[in-house]
Structure 1
Amino acid sequence: MPLGAASALTFFYALGYPIGALAVSAMSPMAVLVFRFGLAGAILSGWALAARVKWPTGRALVHVLITGLLTQALQFICLYIALMHGAPAVLGAVVISMNPVITAVLAAMFLSENLSWTRVGALVLGVVAVLAACAGRLLAIGGVDTVVLLLIVALVSLAVGGVYQQRFCSDVDFRASAALQNGVALLPVAALATVMPWHVTDPWKAAGAVAAVVLFNATLCMSLYVRAINNYGAAAVAMLFAVIPAVAGLLSWAMLGERPDIGIAVGLVIGALACWLNARGARRQRSVASPTASTMRAALPSD
């Protein structure tokens, strides 16, 4: 990925954790998500219509909607409920930073990408990183609680959605795809909002935080995310999660006063090592594959 695109996506994705925590501290999570998906869907739809992009139809439309339910609805429902129940924003970022490792496994299973022993080692380190990051909460609660499970579901849904998008939706314009994903994500969120408590504890804080979530995270960040997967692939985009937790930690410290505990700090270091190993293994596989492909092309008869 080009440095500019990678830097922008990293910053705005990391920013989503503290502003999401601010939003759910002032308003119930399903209310935040109703505004998030509804307003972002309207903005992105207007952008797509103004740009006269081609909207997907048939199977392509179904695939985009499935991607939206995974990467938007399921991920953020789980993440925001976890934040509401006291999960530090940086803890959510560290757990979801295992996206590159999970994505590598899924890519090997469904995109025919090889999984070397180096990348298997990265997977093991990824599991250790998540356990380290959650250690403080696991010790305090006495086991795996709802918050940890919610964050793990958010992680898996993000990874599955990214691989699914690369497999089935790479030809869809990112503006149309992002608009449709927000639109379909609004449906389960609206249904949950009718049966879950709806409250606003601080109207001005809620308005500012929700506006930031809609503009910076739901509209700008997720558009960059969809476009990056279309252009560079799920594995390349997932590698940014080696850096995102550190940026999210700094932003959370500055905005929320949340200092990461020792377990989260250890998890961040091990998680970064896991992502580095995964990237190293992927580069080594590409370097081995490239000469082989060149040799095969050279062996073909010329016209």
Structure 2
Amino acid sequence: MVLPPRLLDAFPALFVLLWSTGFIGAKYGLPYADPLAFLVARYVLVIAALSVLAWAGKAVWETNPKQLFHLMVAGLLLQATYLGGVFVAISHGLPAGLTSLIVGLQPLLTALFAGILLGETVRRYQWVGIATGLLGVILVLAEKAGAGATHSFGWEAVIPALCALLGITFGTLYQKRFCSHFDLRTGSVVQFVPSLLVTGLFVPVIGEWRIEWTGDFIFALGWLVIVLSLGAISLLNLLIRHQGATNVTSLFYLTPAVTTLIAWLLFDEWLTLLQWFGMALTMLGVWLVRRVPPVVRA
């Protein structure tokens, strides 16, 4: 399917806005559910919705075993690892804005590993950007006490966010290299099914089967299913397909500021002056890494 250029031009801004609300939706619904049980419910609904769309649209299902394997691996990284890490981090008290900031380091890791997977060379100023971005994150996390006691968190919240960062980074690179072109309906089902199975297995190991079906939880779940899993993730797949992994990753540095502003409006989560400075340093570092196209080795 060929998309109009104007529509493609609008996708990045729309993606940043929708992607930022994912952290908000998770925080909004997590008081009423175990994080992994929350994700299991989300995956079930997403798989059902996509399957109906695939059936109604007579979509073609992938039958090549190798391609199916690549789709499942990408799905486990982009869904189970990334979303699982984000939900667990927020459930352990990591503010939505800071969770978005850590995950927003993806372009920095992409620059580090793109040489191995995509044959790209990291330039000198990009190394400066990587160092600047990491310094910014250190400042934000070191100033956590300034956010107030109600927003305190420890390494049990930071480590899952770092796992989410690794998941979204390697998932994007893996999908771009091995399976960037697939039907968004059937291919997404293939990606979500193994994520559902793996997440379900981990629920009794690190959590519990707890869901309180309140109005707030149902709203959060519906938002994450319709707007994020069907909307934002489809946009992500389209952007990976049309713009490539290296361009797509640059969008993630915009989400921390957007998420923080929304979290302030809804949850009174705010940052200290030093944390804002650290966030600005991180965004500057990511901009340095992504400001020009990478060099591809012959």
The TM-score with structure 1 as length reference comes to: 0.87
User: Which residue is equivalent to 2:43?
Assistant: 37
The alpha carbon displacement at 1:199 in A equals: 2.7
1:239 aligns with 2:250: yes
Contact 1:116/1:281 (8 A) holds in 2: no
Which secondary structure does the structure 2 equivalent of 1:282 belong to? coil
Correspondence for 2:10 among 1, 4, 7: 4
1: CA distance between counterparts of 2:278 and 2:167? 21
User: Which residue is equivalent to 1:145?
Assistant: 155
User: Which residue is equivalent to 1:203?
Assistant: 214
User: Which residue is equivalent to 1:72?
Assistant: 79
Please tell me whether Structure 1 or Structure 2 has the larger radius of gyration of its CA atoms: 1
The alpha carbon displacement at 1:138 in A equals: 8.1
Gaps of at least 5 residues in structure 2 are none
1:179-234 Cα distance to aligned partner (Å, 9 max, x none)? 22122210111112244223345722111111111111122111111121122111
User: Which residue is equivalent to 2:176?
Assistant: 166
2: CA distance between counterparts of 1:197 and 1:264? 34
Query: Relative to 1, partners in 2 of residues 1:143 and 1:39: Cα closer, same or farther, differing over 3 Å?
Result: closer
Paired residues in the alignment total 287
What percentage of residue pairs aligned between the two structures are identical?
26
2: CA distance between counterparts of 1:143 and 1:259? 14
Query: Relative to 1, partners in 2 of residues 1:194 and 1:104: Cα closer, same or farther, differing over 3 Å?
Result: same
2: CA distance between counterparts of 1:18 and 1:215? 14
Contact 2:38/2:211 (8 A) holds in 1: no
Gaps of at least 5 residues in structure 1 are 294-303
The alpha carbon displacement at 1:51 in A equals: 2.7
User: Which residue is equivalent to 1:134?
Assistant: 141
Contact 2:94/2:153 (8 A) holds in 1: no
2: CA distance between counterparts of 1:239 and 1:282? 11
Contact 2:78/2:171 (8 A) holds in 1: yes
User: Which residue is equivalent to 1:296?
Assistant: none
2: CA distance between counterparts of 1:186 and 1:64? 14
Which secondary structure does the structure 2 equivalent of 1:61 belong to? helix
1: CA distance between counterparts of 2:274 and 2:167? 24
Contact 2:25/2:223 (8 A) holds in 1: yes
Contact 2:92/2:153 (8 A) holds in 1: no
- Larger mean CA deviation between 169-178 and 69-78 belongs to 169-178
2: CA distance between counterparts of 1:238 and 1:175? 23
Which secondary structure does the structure 1 equivalent of 2:282 belong to? helix
The TM-score with structure 2 as length reference comes to: 0.89
Contact 1:169/1:230 (8 A) holds in 2: no
User: Which residue is equivalent to 2:27?
Assistant: 21
